[in-house]
Amino acid sequence: MGTLREALATGAPVTTQAPWPRVVVDAAGWSALGEALAEGALGLSGLWGEAEAVHAALFDEPAAEFAVATLACPEGRFPSLGRRHAAAIRPERAIRDLVGLVAQAAPDDRPWLDHGRWPVRAPLGRKLPPGPAAPYAFLPAEGEGLHRMAVGPVHAGIIEPGHFRFAVNGETVVRLETRLGYTHKGIEALMQGATIEHAACLAGRVSGDSTVAYALAFARAAEAALGVAVPERAHWLRALMAELERLANHLGDIGAICNDAGFALMLTHCAILRERVLRTADACFGHRLMRDLVVPGGVALDLAAPAGVHDLCAEIGRQFPRLVALYEGTASLQDRTCGTGVVAPGLARRFAAGGYIGRASGRDFDARRRPGYPPYDQLRFEVPVFENGDVDARVWVRIREVEQSLSLLQQILLAMPGGPVRVPLPLRGGEGVALVEGFRGDILVWLSLDEAGRVRRCHLRDPSWFQWPLVEAAIEGNIVADFPLCNKSFNCSYSGHDL
Amino acid sequence: MRTLLFRSLIATPLSQPVPKPAADALSAALGAQLDRAAQRRLGRSVAIRALDAGSCNGCELELNALGNAFYDLERFGLRFVASPRHADVLLVTGPVTANMREALERTYQAMPGPKWVVAAGACAIDGGIFAGSYAVHGGAGAVLPVDLRLPGCPPRPLELLQGLLALMEPSSASRPSARAWSDLRLG
Ligand code: SF4
């Protein structure tokens, strides 16, 4: 029996949730989970609230077990997990902002998503009138020769808004503090009471670059809640879209990272390949980003032109190795990426950082493997893992994943079965949870449906929640001029995080 | 690197032709939204400050695509600038979130006049799927006077390009100089 099951053995199981167990624990049991997290015996995959309860998605990596623990909070408080496990700090601040539950003895009780500008407090909970807006208290940084630099929320390029507060000593960054929440759109509140179809559209707009992955995570959670099995071909088409999305994003990122190191040639060539992927997606499915195509019950339409994907793989297969050689053979570029922005493996593990960030720092985790979902059990692929944890390692994970995605696409085209691609959904209640590997890392969706089949509560956890804090750690001791490079190598989602 | 550069020299260009007749109809429709004075003033060079007022980042992906070799927007005299003080046009994406409203207003205020606002994407037009949320004011029009609306979720790069061209001289797509330029590029 794994640590996770032992830890939850004393709780009361809830039978409505699929496919992972959900267990209601008491305050002591909740605190014990906090200890297990602090010791590294368990990992945290999500932490969210409802009006009168908090939920934690937990996993036991060696045993490949996943579960959700619930603590009822009739008095509006719960013991802080963040007190012992830093990855829980920001989710707890968000819980307070969104549902009004207070993490007791939390190390940081400043608001996070709520900037004091909404017409309501605790919009997902007791819906209180707004309080007086207070200025945000940035963490102090004092010392001789230190000065502060404020950047954002509006940045120079075409990127998302967020605020960065640097404390610098000359060129060197002593501390970076990020402030996020600018793109908070209230997605989880918009979902409440929505039909599954409408909620799926919202899920596909949490983070536009991961629209397929989000739609897939939501669809899988909905199908788990309703006990629906989708047709075999739908699984394969979903994987086809997911790999096209991964390919497009990785190609874009590799180019953009090199561009931020002053090497625009790579961006030019990678952007051409990225555009080819998007045009192929458009030709195959009628939308460049493949939005609203993965739907609960299957996929919205069948593949129009498989030959296009074949040609795409051949073209990228021809061009990409040259770009890899260019990356490897340009000393001035390597000089910028190697040894810059290091994330220590221990930190990546403690934060359960997913995607290329975790895998560049030795964390061998990929949701396509564990917990796994079809059709990846029938496909051959490697999960590239590097140890250095620097910008260079994050580029290499992407390079290897481009190669893996090309291979996966070809395997999918060869082995994809025929048949229908969608089944109708029953209208009933249920609870489902899903973990899906987007290009950026694992996306968690937890969904609870009421008896009429409408969304009672849905939580969508972007991989960025456990990656943004590591940006702050990675930049420490680097020079300010390397921040754009570091940040791009993370490419965390603002919108996905802010919800 | 030398081989790669050499290959690029002999390869045929990827840049798309200037949007053709079907596009002209759209450009005309878009142009009709604008007052002609705007087009005269902007002439053939437009500096654009893009601002994400709370988007899902989908619109930004397509804005970024405008810079790739296929669309190559700078050949039209369109250019994204970093400072609002250098901008003629504020291009807004996403619904205006409560948390971004002030930043949006201050960016607009920092722009010198005359200035124009383009709302790109369903969200910037009227809040899109996020309209009605406690955290969203609506589209860019809820906060600023909007001159041009470009629909889509997200708008395709070609649609963005057509829309931005409409900001310039009337029926810029059929302007002789523009046509000659595109023919040249297409070899
Ligand atoms: S219009 Fe669509 S792509 Fe653009 S921000 Fe809105 S949801 Fe995202």
Among A114, A117, A158, the strongest candidate for a mutation testing the B interface, having the largest count of B CBs within 10 A, is A158
Chain centre to alpha carbon of residue A410: 26
Name which residue leads in pLDDT, A18 or A268: A268
Domains of chain A plus CATH, in order, are: 4-104 (3.30.460.80), 187-498 (1.10.645.10)
Give percent of chain A above pLDDT 90: 92
A181 contacts chain B (CB < 8 A): yes
Q: What is the pLDDT of residue B42?
A: 64
Is the distance from CB of A407 to CB of A316 less than 8 angstroms? no
Pocket lining: B61 vs ligand 1, CB cutoff 6 Å = no
pLDDT of residue B35: 56
B153 and A207 within 8 Å at the Cβ level: the answer is no
Q: What is the pLDDT of residue B31?
A: 57
| pLDDT, position A131 | 82
Does residue A424 sit at the B interface (CB-CB below 8 Å)?
Answer: no
Instruction: Write the Ramachandran bin of B179: left for phi over 0, alpha for psi from -120 to 50, otherwise beta.
Output: alpha
Question: In angstroms, what separates the C-alpha of B88 from chain A's closest C-alpha?
Answer: 16
Task: Give the pLDDT band of residue A407 (cuts 50, 70, 90).
Answer: very high
Q: Is residue A442 over pLDDT 90?
A: yes
DSSP string, A207-234: SGGGHHHHHHHHHHHHHHHHTPPPPHHH
Residue B13 has pLDDT above 80, yes or no: no
Tell which of A185, A272, A462 to mutate to test the B interface (max B CBs under 10 Å). Answer: A185
Inform me whether the pLDDT recorded for A78 exceeds 50.
Answer: yes
- A410-424 in b/e form (b: 16+ CB < 10 A) is bbbbeebeeeebbee
pLDDT tens-digit series, residues A329-344: 999 999 999 999 999 9
Mean pLDDT of A52-57: 96
Geometric angle at alpha carbon B63, from A358 and B110, rounded to 5° = 105
pLDDT of B172 reads: 42
Model-wide pTM > 0.80: yes
Parallel, antiparallel or unpaired: strands A455-461 and B78-80: unpaired
Closest approach atom of ligand 1 to CA B128: 6
Least confident of A4-18, A225-239, A371-385, B60-74: A4-18
> Which residues pair with residue A433 across a beta bridge?
A446
Pocket lining: B32 vs ligand 1, CB cutoff 6 Å: no
Q: Which atom of ligand 1 is nearest to the CA of B55?
A: 5
Please check the confidence at residue A446 and state whether its pLDDT lies above 60.
yes
What is the distance between the alpha carbons of residues A261 and A272, in angstroms, rounded to a whole number?
19
Query: Looking at residue A372, what is its pLDDT?
Result: 94
Task: Say if ligand 1 is within 6 A of residue B128 CB.
Answer: yes
Specify the pLDDT at position A333.
94
Q: Is B100 on the interface with A (CB under 8 A)?
A: yes
Cα–Cα distance, A100 to A120 (Å, whole number): 11
Measured CA to CA, the distance from residue B165 to residue B51 in angstroms comes to 19
Q: How far is the CA of B82 from the centre of ligand 1 (A)?
A: 22
Q: What are phi and psi of A422, to 5 degrees?
A: -155, 145
Mean pLDDT, range B147-152, rounded to an integer: 94
Q: Take residue A160 and report the two structure tokens written for it.
A: 């998302």
Give the tokens for residue B40. Answer: 């005269």
Residue B17 clears pLDDT 90, i.e. is over it = no
Q: Are the C-beta atoms of residues A165 and A182 closer than 8 Å to each other? A: no
Distance set, CA A361 to CA A18, A135, A341, A386, B169 (Å): 32, 36, 11, 6, 53
Q: What integer pLDDT is reported at residue A9 of this predicted model?
A: 84
Greater confidence, B74 or A469? A469
**Shortest CA gap A186–chain B (Å):** 6
Q: Is pLDDT above 50 for A497?
A: yes
- Residue A265 has a CB neighbour count (10 Å cut-off) of 18
More reliable by pLDDT, B186 or A232: A232
The alpha-carbon radius of gyration of chain B (Å, integer) is 17
ipTM for the complex shown: 0.94
CA gap B186, A306 in Å, rounded: 29
Question: For ligand 1, is residue B153 a contact (CB within 6 Å)?
Answer: yes
Looking at the DSSP bridge assignments, the partners of residue A323 are none
Residue whose pair of structure tokens reads 């429709």 in the numeric block? B29
pLDDT tier at B20, thresholds 50, 70, 90: very low
Whose structure tokens read 């900037």? A115
Q: Transcribe A274-327 into DSSP letters.
A: HHHHHHHHHHHHS-TT-TT-EETTEESS--S-HHHHHHHHHHHHHHHHHHHHHH
pLDDT, mean of residues B125-135: 97
Question: Mean pLDDT over residues A473-489, rounded?
Answer: 94
Q: Would you state the structure tokens that stand for residue A426, as one six-digit string?
A: 């029953």
Query: pLDDT tens digits, residue range A157-207?
Result: 899 999 999 999 999 999 999 999 999 999 999 999 999 999 999 999 999
- What pLDDT is stored for residue B40 in this prediction? 63
Least confident of A85-89, A126-130, A141-145, A372-376: A141-145
Counting every residue written for chain A, the total comes to 499
pLDDT at A449 exceeding the cut of 50: yes
Q: Is the pLDDT of residue B170 over 60?
A: no
pLDDT tens by residue, A229-265: 999 999 999 999 999 999 999 999 999 999 999 999 9
Mean pLDDT of chain A: 95
pLDDT of B176 above 70: no
Comparing CB atoms, the residue among B1, B52, B130 nearest residue A190 is B130
Q: Is the pLDDT of residue A227 over 50?
A: yes
Q: Which of residues 121-180 of B touch A (CB under 8 A)?
A: 129-130, 132-136, 153-154, 156
Tokens 């609203």: give the residue: A292
User: Is A86's pLDDT higher than 70?
Assistant: yes
CA of A374, closest CA in chain B: separation in Å?
27
- pLDDT mean over A48-68: 93
Q: What is the mean pLDDT of chain B?
A: 81
Mean pLDDT value of segment A402-413: 97
> Which tokens go with B89?
């046009």
Question: Residue B174 above 50 pLDDT?
Answer: no
Answer with the residue of higher pLDDT: B34 or A491: A491
C-alpha span between A8 and A29 (Å, rounded): 8
**Are residues A68 and A57 in contact, defined by beta-carbon separation less than 8 angstroms?**
yes
* Cα(A129)–Cα(A149) distance, integer angstroms: 34
The string of pLDDT tens digits covering residues B23-40 is 444 555 555 555 555 666
Q: Which two tokens stand for residue A215?
A: 């739609």
Which alpha helices (DSSP H) does A351-416 contain, by range?
355-360, 391-415
Determine which helix (DSSP H) or strand (DSSP E) holds B124, and give its type and residue range.
helix B122-126
| A289, closest residue in chain B (CA to CA) | B58
pLDDT of A133 reads 78
B14 part of contact set with chain A, CB < 8 Å: yes
- Mean pLDDT along residues B172-187: 37
What confidence score (pLDDT) does residue B39 get? Answer: 61
